[in-house]
Amino acid sequence: MNPEPEPAAPVPPANHADSANQQSEWFGPDGRPVHKEQCTCFSQHRANRQDPVGFHAELQDTSSPGWRRLLDNVDEAVADGREEFSPLHGLSPLERRDVITLPPTIGRLTAVKHLMLYGSNLVRIPPEIGGMTNLEEFTPYTSHRLHWFPYEITRCTKLTRSTVSTRSLFGNFKLRPPFPRLSAEGDPTPNGSLGTLDPTAWGATAIRTCSVCDCPMEGAELHQVWISLVVATDVLPLLVNACSAECVAALPPGADGYAPGPHKGGGDVDQPRAD
């Protein structure tokens, strides 16, 4: 669910003392948080369906201190089998800013029931989140650069509670921003490979398996579509990377009040009017 109103600025993690030094570490001279970047993909305050949008282009720097600490945090959580996990806990503000996605190893977090991503700088979630089979609660609230989620999150069949900043989502019911236009079937990928992709065009740096049937994608066709579905307590825009037209046809209907089925995005998608 999306509590209203949203806070003007994220609150530093509870383990940080409320002191001038700590506050100056988390907020710059202009009062803006230093641990995440401002998003200008579309207005998150007013409806404007005419402006085209795209995917975030950032690539994860896997040599950065923040990324290395994140990998350690995931490994520790896998080893101790914890049920509540905040991957960015213990990272400094600048280290948190380094992290724009999560590692594929989150698929090993099979004991985690609550994934906390409050106020992150993330721009994408990897499809391996579908391996978190015991996930019950998902909290990416105030992660304002997360505009969509992988269809694989629907494999988290125990997921019943979510807290998402819905104004940040493509196609959200409050503002109805458009979806990025996806490539047509048959459009070439670099070198014919799905292992190294430009996220600006494809939304991901690699596509390894079908979002629907989980079969390997190498050598298969790529059919990318959007669909908006109820996931826990929110309607989320989901990116589907399917291996065939048959897998696209197997998708469920879209959520009530949203585009009724899979679509390719772009400004001409027939979305209901914003509230």
| DSSP at 217 | -
pTM, rounded to two decimals? 0.87
Residue 194 CB contacts under 8 Å (≥ 6 apart), including other chains: 206, 207, 208, 217, 218, 222
pLDDT in the model for residue 26: 64
- Tell me the per-residue pLDDT of 133-168, one tens digit each, with 9 for 90 and over: 999 999 999 999 999 999 999 999 999 999 999 999
Q: Look-up: residue for tokens 């790529």?
A: 222
Q: Splitting the chain (275 residues) into consecutive groups of 10 residues, what average pLDDT does each group show?
A: 43 43 58 79 79 92 97 98 96 95 98 97 98 98 96 98 96 93 72 84 95 89 95 97 95 95 90 75
Spell out the residues 6+ positions from residue 256 whose beta carbon is closer than 8 angstroms to its own: none
